[in-house]
A and B are shown apart, each in its own frame.
Chain A
């Protein structure tokens, strides 16, 4: 039963299995285990990013395509929900309409980009997506009537998801049963379902073809698979799941702007999560997203303390402080990224699986 749910793609390492169980249990009972607004937000962010990173892994890890436009699709999903709710007022119909329109736009856009650039060389794709994503980001801030420009859009979500809504008067296990809790569990089950669907996709015959293309596209073509079709499909699928992740993010935040869903920094975060977790395994997305967002949410405070402490030192301390200030967070991310691509290409999941495989006689 469990094996069928996981599409027979088992963690294949006891340590990894334990880690995954811990993450799933932690996320499933986050409101009860870690009460507090900040920890709940962190947990919700982890959920959204698990879906987003898994959808990116479908492209990068399974098909071997580097795209820099993944945040564009993420943003389309978030803006779709945001614009629909801001224009039509809070209601489930507006949410559905926003998601549907965003999904349609993403699918068409990814199909066109894919058809264009994947036809020639996979390397074109990285460059073209970079250009398209940059243009889209500018467009989103230019069309301020629709998107709210740089300020973004704040909007009301359907009433059942607002903090004011309450399921029961008495708190359950010390947690009040309000709309926030409800939206958290909406996110949780949606993310779990989307993740399992993606796990199913990569373990299907279709997914095997994608991996064959990643390993050797020439040979895959020779075996009779039309690689362009498979690459484009993988691209469209990845874009679709990213759009849904964006919609979930907007529903949770009740706000969307360029910095929350479109910025290039998020693209870098996604890349890092995929690489840290392990390219080419869906479980890598879970591990990578969880560890990264925990670090991002709690390590930056540490950096601030370290930077402030060093700031008191004269001369050389000033430069060190500049290096350690929280504004330079991205610098350390970049260094970490380069080092992990060099020395840790299989990521955490790959390492754990290799260890487990080596332990077996």
Chain B
């Protein structure tokens, strides 16, 4: 008689293979554009501009995609927070005119950071109210959610018009950040470098929170399987409110950066950027923060290359990119499980 078979010692879980293919698309796109653009300095300028734009878009999109992944809530009103951030920046930077006019870089950056802090705080607070009033009553009802958040977007945009007026407001860059510096022959605008640095810092922070903290672990787990996380005793609602507020605050931050990038702010800015954001999160795979990072960089780079090479096509370049990506991977670059 044989002894009952001893269960084999549990093997270590097979390591999840990181899927690097989509990530490779970004340098691939940049390299493919190089011969088309022709001159190397122009290519550098365009690439830096594209990365800066992509990172700003990523800052805005990351919150939206996580909110969707966590609670299946698609917030069409996300654009309100972008517009709110941008308009708050006009007020704050307008109020700190002495700081922005001075040639000292430190004073300039302090002014910008002050604007960002105010924008994030206010957008986060408004986001909390938005979640409570607009979104909570319609959890789990997609149709109503789309309609309600769209309604919230319109009301928000109109309220911004009531407060700041319907016209465009100029948002000039602080004195020391204007103009470009020359790297070799390539002219790179100073503000774009600042945007890239801030964007990378935010990306690193988001990445760190998601992969190294308990809250991040819960968020990722919740995106994968909400019910299981709830069954383990965590209050996913509370986590969701936290992510929603953080996402709104990031949209406010992105709004400040986008406004400075465009150097003028109109109330429709939210709706305009919203469309870009939607394309980005569809490309990236709804719910995936990493996917939205790749998607944002692709959209930013392509917008700049296309704008230079064929301005008429630039309008459709994003939609074309989305179509191509969806043909390749119908669920987006990084499909989230169960979705």
> With contacts A131-B278, A135-B315 known, is A275 near B326, CB below 8 A?
no
Q: Are B315 and A116 in contact (CB under 8 A)?
A: no
Partner of B155 from A122, A331, A345 at Cβ < 8 Å: A331
Q: Are A142 and B326 in contact (CB under 8 A)?
A: no
For window 101-157 of A, CB contacts with B under 8 Å fall at: 116, 119-124, 126-128, 130-132, 134-135, 138-139, 142
Q: Does A66 contact B (CB under 8 A)?
A: yes
> With contacts A127-B278, A331-B162 known, is A120 near B330, CB below 8 A?
yes
Q: Does B159 contact A (CB under 8 A)?
A: yes
Partner of B142 from A116, A123, A127, A135 at Cβ < 8 Å: A123
Query: Closest Cβ of chain A: how far from B329's Cβ, in Å?
Result: 10
Bits for B89-120, please: 1 = Cβ < 8 Å to A, else 0: 00000000000000000000000000000000
Q: Are B148 and A341 in contact (CB under 8 A)?
A: yes
Bits for B115-131, please: 1 = Cβ < 8 Å to A, else 0: 00000000000000000
For window 258-312 of B, CB contacts with A under 8 Å fall at: 271-272, 274-275, 278-279, 282, 286, 312
Considering only CB atoms and an 8 Å cut-off, how many residues of chain A contact the other chain? Answer: 40
Q: Does A255 contact B (CB under 8 A)?
A: no
Cα A135 to Cα B137 with chains together (Å): 32
Q: Are B278 and A341 in contact (CB under 8 A)?
A: no
On chain B, the residues within 8 Å of A330 by CB distance are 154, 158
Give the interface residue-count category, chain B. Answer: 35 or more
Q: Are B144 and A338 in contact (CB under 8 A)?
A: no
Q: Are B271 and A264 in contact (CB under 8 A)?
A: yes
Partner of B137 from A66, A122, A323, A342 at Cβ < 8 Å: A342
Closest Cβ neighbor of B166 among chain A residues: A327
Bits for B311-330, please: 1 = Cβ < 8 Å to A, else 0: 01001101100110010001
Most chain A CB inside 10 Å of its own CB: which residue of B151, B159, B323: B151
Q: Are A334 and B154 in contact (CB under 8 A)?
A: yes
Q: Does B134 contact A (CB under 8 A)?
A: yes
For window 6-65 of A, CB contacts with B under 8 Å fall at: 60, 64
On chain A, the residues within 8 Å of B146 by CB distance are 66, 123, 126
Closest Cβ neighbor of B161 among chain A residues: A328
Cα A268 to Cα B154 with chains together (Å): 9
> With contacts A120-B326, A323-B162 known, is A142 near B147, CB below 8 A?
no
On chain B, the residues within 8 Å of A134 by CB distance are 272, 275
Partner of B282 from A124, A328, A334, A337 at Cβ < 8 Å: A124
Q: Does A322 contact B (CB under 8 A)?
A: yes
Partner of A130 from B137, B155, B275, B326 at Cβ < 8 Å: B275
Cα A323 to Cα B326 with chains together (Å): 43
> With contacts A128-B282, A142-B315, A268-B154 known, is A331 near B159, CB below 8 A?
yes
Q: Does A271 contact B (CB under 8 A)?
A: yes
On chain B, the residues within 8 Å of A264 by CB distance are 271
Partner of A328 from B150, B152, B162, B319 at Cβ < 8 Å: B162
Closest Cβ neighbor of B148 among chain A residues: A341
For window 229-258 of A, CB contacts with B under 8 Å fall at: none
Q: Does A168 contact B (CB under 8 A)?
A: no
Cα A338 to Cα B326 with chains together (Å): 33
Cα A319 to Cα B150 with chains together (Å): 25
Q: Does A305 contact B (CB under 8 A)?
A: no
Q: Does A335 contact B (CB under 8 A)?
A: yes
Contacts A/B (CB < 8 Å), 12 sampled: A126-B146, A127-B74, A127-B282, A130-B275, A134-B272, A271-B150, A328-B158, A330-B158, A334-B155, A335-B151, A335-B155, A341-B144
The 6 closest A-B pairs by CB, nearest first: A331-B158, A334-B154, A334-B155, A338-B151, A127-B278, A337-B151
- With A132-B319, A330-B154 given, name 8 new contacts (CB 8 A): A123-B286, A126-B76, A126-B146, A130-B274, A327-B161, A331-B158, A338-B151, A341-B148
